[in-house]
């Protein structure tokens, strides 16, 4: 599990390889990842935006920006956790992802909560990118 904490917001990510969805012979490798966003602060926050930087095993970079996550912009109360899963296809057998969530407090102030860098590696390979 990979973790990062910003202003009391802890983001934890656990990636796993989807063998059944991948086609290595065609250069198509798919990972899923579980994300938990825990509000350890003393005020409610809303997850408004997401930013992902995805780097494949050849160093090619893709950036993804958008509103919320999985079609939601959830409010997370102090002490609560919001979790979701998503997936990422790559053309190589390894890669790395990292990013941030744009968070907003009730008073309208905003900050970026770090998403920790995490490796996307085949199950039998050594994790070498992170």
Residue 129 has what pLDDT? 47
Q: Is the pLDDT of residue 130 over 70?
A: no
Query: At a CB cut-off of 8 Å and minimum separation 6, what does 109 contact?
Result: none
R_g of the chain, CA atoms, integer Å: 15
Residue 71 has what pLDDT? 93
Residue 123 has what pLDDT? 84
Q: Is the pLDDT of residue 64 over 90?
A: yes
For 96-113, how does the pLDDT look when each residue is reduced to its tens digit (9 = 90+)? 999 999 999 999 999 999
Overall average pLDDT of the 66-89 stretch:
97
Region of 48 please: left (phi>0), alpha (psi -120 to 50) or beta: alpha
Query: At a CB cut-off of 8 Å and minimum separation 6, what does 101 contact?
Result: 9, 11, 37, 47, 48, 49, 50, 51, 69, 112, 113, 115
Q: Is the pLDDT of residue 40 over 90?
A: yes
HSE (side-chain half, CA atoms, 13 Å) at 108: 0
pTM, two decimals, is: 0.91
């Amino acid at each position: 599990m990979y973790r990062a904490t910003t202003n009391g917001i802890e983001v934890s990510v656990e990636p796993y390889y989807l063998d059944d969805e991948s086609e290595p012979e065609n250069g198509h490798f798919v990972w899923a990842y579980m994300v938990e966003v825990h509000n350890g602060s003393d005020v409610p926050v809303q997850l408004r935006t997401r930013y992902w930087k995805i780097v494949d095993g050849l160093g090619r970079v893709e950036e993804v920006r958008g509103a919320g996550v999985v079609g939601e912009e959830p409010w997370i109360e102090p002490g609560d956790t919001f979790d979701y899963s998503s997936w990422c296809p790559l053309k190589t057998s390894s890669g790395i992802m990292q990013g941030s969530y744009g968070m907003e407090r009730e008073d309208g102030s905003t900050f970026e909560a770090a998403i920790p860098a995490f490796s996307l590696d085949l199950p039998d390979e050594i994790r070498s990118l992170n």
